[in-house]
């Protein structure tokens, strides 16, 4: 084995990661060639140097931090928000906490109402009857229709979803139990 070949393999030789035949051939060469032997020595010393590095230690709370993040990750989103909210209001007296909770609920309702009313402004229904929403319906074309009350003959438009409702044409809708006819002529943009 010549010097070039030995030098290309000597790093793996240091690790003992060569087939037996090559290991023996390199050992033979190193005993006869001082240049390659010194190459081998320097790589061996380098490996030993890194092997002697002291482990770096993390802060003592790293495992706890990781487990805490895992807890947060396992928690459903609404629980996360609640626990964040609870944490923020914890230092306050109970009356203020109650008021804050009430305010949060009211705000949430307001957001829902505002969302609804803005949509109502677009639709401006002249004949909205029922406010109960309990069943899903499909129109004849198969499009999804807002939740409505089964058994009521006139249906409220839910202020959320569907363009088919904007059609000025009368349309009929079928559920599993009943057939409804909905007058859409009263609705306009």
Q: How far is the CB of 46 from another protein (least distance, A)?
A: 5
Q: How far is the CB of 42 from another protein (least distance, A)?
A: 5
Q: Is residue 172 classed exposed, middle or buried when 0-12, 13-18 and 19+ CB atoms within 10 A define those classes?
A: exposed
Q: Is 174 helix (H, G, I), strand (E, B) or coil?
A: strand
Q: How far is the CB of 102 from another protein (least distance, A)?
A: 35
Ramachandran quadrant class, 99 (left: phi over 0; alpha: psi -120 to 50; beta: rest) = alpha
Residues 9 and 23 sit within 8 Å (Cβ to Cβ): no
User: 185 — phi, psi (to 5°)?
Assistant: -65, -25
Question: For another protein, which is the closer residue by CB, 48 or 183?
Answer: 48
Question: Which residues here bind another protein, judged by CB under 8 A?
Answer: 8, 11-12, 15, 17, 42-43, 45-47, 49-51, 53-59, 62-63, 65-67, 69-70, 73-74
Q: How far is the CB of 64 from another protein (least distance, A)?
A: 9
Question: For another protein, which is the closer residue by CB, 59 or 87?
Answer: 59
Question: For another protein, which is the closer residue by CB, 44 or 149?
Answer: 44
Question: For another protein, which is the closer residue by CB, 76 or 142?
Answer: 76
- Nearest-Å Rg of the Cα atoms of the chain is 38
């Amino acid at each position: 084995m010549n010097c070039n070949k030995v030098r290309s393999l000597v790093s793996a030789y240091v690790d003992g990661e060569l087939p037996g035949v090559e290991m023996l051939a390199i050992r033979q060469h190193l005993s006869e060639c001082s240049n390659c032997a010194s190459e081998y020595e320097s790589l061996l010393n380098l490996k030993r140097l890194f092997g002697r590095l002291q482990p770096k230690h993390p802060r003592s709370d790293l495992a706890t931090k990781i487990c805490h993040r895992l807890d947060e990750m396992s928690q459903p989103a609404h629980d996360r928000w609640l626990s964040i909210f609870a944490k923020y209001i914890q230092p306050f007296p109970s009356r203020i906490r109650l008021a804050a909770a009430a305010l949060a609920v009211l705000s949430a309702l307001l957001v829902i109402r505002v969302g609804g009313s803005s949509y109502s402004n677009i639709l401006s229904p002249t004949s909205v009857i029922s406010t109960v929403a309990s069943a899903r319906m499909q129109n004849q074309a198969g499009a999804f229709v807002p939740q409505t009350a089964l058994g009521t003959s006139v249906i409220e438009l839910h202020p959320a979803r569907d363009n088919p409702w904007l059609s000025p044409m009368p349309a009929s809708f079928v559920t599993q139990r009943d057939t409804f006819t909905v007058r859409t002529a009263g609705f306009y943009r």
